[in-house]
């Protein structure tokens, strides 16, 4: 196996692309739509806004941070899963076949180091310390997940879903946490600035919950595919403890209920 292709495959490039697309979708369609709405002169012609939207270069760094953390998490996950994957998916193993384990560990630490360093820089530059602390949390959480939590009942699934759900907040945090400067020539009490913030926060929350639910369902389904090897190595995942039939019913019911909730609120 070609070492370069093996390394790229280990990082899950499709998943990384989805993260990047999600980040820019939140910026240009969700955040951009919000800014366009409140800046519309036809709605409030007497109102002038100044919005603290993060710059393009810094936003690209925000995106790189998430991409590097995800790539690092995928590498360390495969690093700890080599023995299990020899049973579950032997044809997909890249570590020890395409490149050595020490290369995987070095790449993991390097990507994490870059992500954390960029986060600290952005936290300082933007005066938003959420950018500095979040990469540290995610890097540590993904290590702990790969080393231990993925073997437990639901805890690993919930943690991964929580990390995935951070992405919409990460992409828009600067806008809805910074004060919006505006000037009005009308009674300020009649201008519903707080309503706009609430509306925007609810939209971001909706994307966050959706990302969490989709990821949670996906993680449980992935566990169901890996029962043979996971059981061999003493994992206590939902499909192992409940069986595939019961897990499938729970998934179908949960996904159906979630779909009905989405139909109701939309």
Per residue in 233-243, pLDDT (tens digit) is: 999 999 999 99
Q: Measured in whole angstroms, how far is the alpha carbon of residue 15 from the centre of its chain?
A: 10
**What is the reported pTM?**
0.91
pLDDT band at 163 (very low <50, low <70, confident <90, very high): very high
> In the chain, what is the straight-line distance between the N-terminal and C-terminal CA atoms, in Å?
48
Distance (Å, whole) CA 149 – CA 143: 9
The average pLDDT across 126-130 equals 91
Count of structural domains, the chain: 1
- Give the pLDDT confidence of 173-211 residue by residue, as tens digits: 987 666 555 555 544 454 555 666 778 888 899 999 999
User: d(Cα 11, Cα 89) in Å, to the nearest integer?
Assistant: 16
Domain that holds residue 101: 3-265
């Amino acid at each position: 196996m070609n070492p370069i292709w093996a390394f790229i495959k280990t990082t899950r490039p499709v998943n990384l692309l989805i993260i990047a697309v999600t980040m820019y979708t939140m910026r240009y369609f969700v955040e951009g739509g919000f800014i366009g709405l409140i800046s519309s002169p036809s709605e409030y012609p007497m109102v002038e806004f100044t919005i603290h939207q993060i710059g393009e270069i810094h936003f690209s760094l925000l995106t790189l941070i998430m991409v590097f953390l995800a790539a690092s998490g995928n590498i360390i996950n495969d690093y700890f899963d080599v023995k299990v994957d020899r049973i579950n998916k032997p044809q997909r193993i890249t570590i020890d076949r395409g490149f050595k384990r020490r290369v995987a560990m070095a790449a993991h630490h390097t990507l994490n180091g870059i992500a954390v360093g960029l986060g600290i820089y952005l936290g300082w530059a933007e005066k938003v310390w959420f950018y500095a602390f979040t990469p540290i949390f995610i890097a540590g959480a993904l290590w702990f997940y790969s080393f231990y939590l993925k073997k437990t009942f639901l805890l690993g699934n919930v943690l991964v879903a929580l990390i995935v759900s951070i992405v919409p907040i990460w992409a828009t945090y600067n806008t809805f946490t910074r004060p919006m400067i505006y000037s009005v020539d009308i009674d300020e009490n009649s201008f519903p600035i707080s309503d706009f913030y609430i509306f925007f926060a609810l939209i971001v929350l909706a994307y966050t919950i959706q990302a969490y639910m989709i990821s949670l369902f996906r993680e449980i389904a992935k566990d169901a595919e890996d029962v043979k090897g996971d059981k061999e190595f003493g994992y206590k995942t939902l499909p192992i403890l409940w069986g595939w039939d019961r897990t499938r019913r729970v998934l179908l019911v949960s996904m159906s209920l979630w779909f009905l909730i989405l139909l109701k609120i939309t």
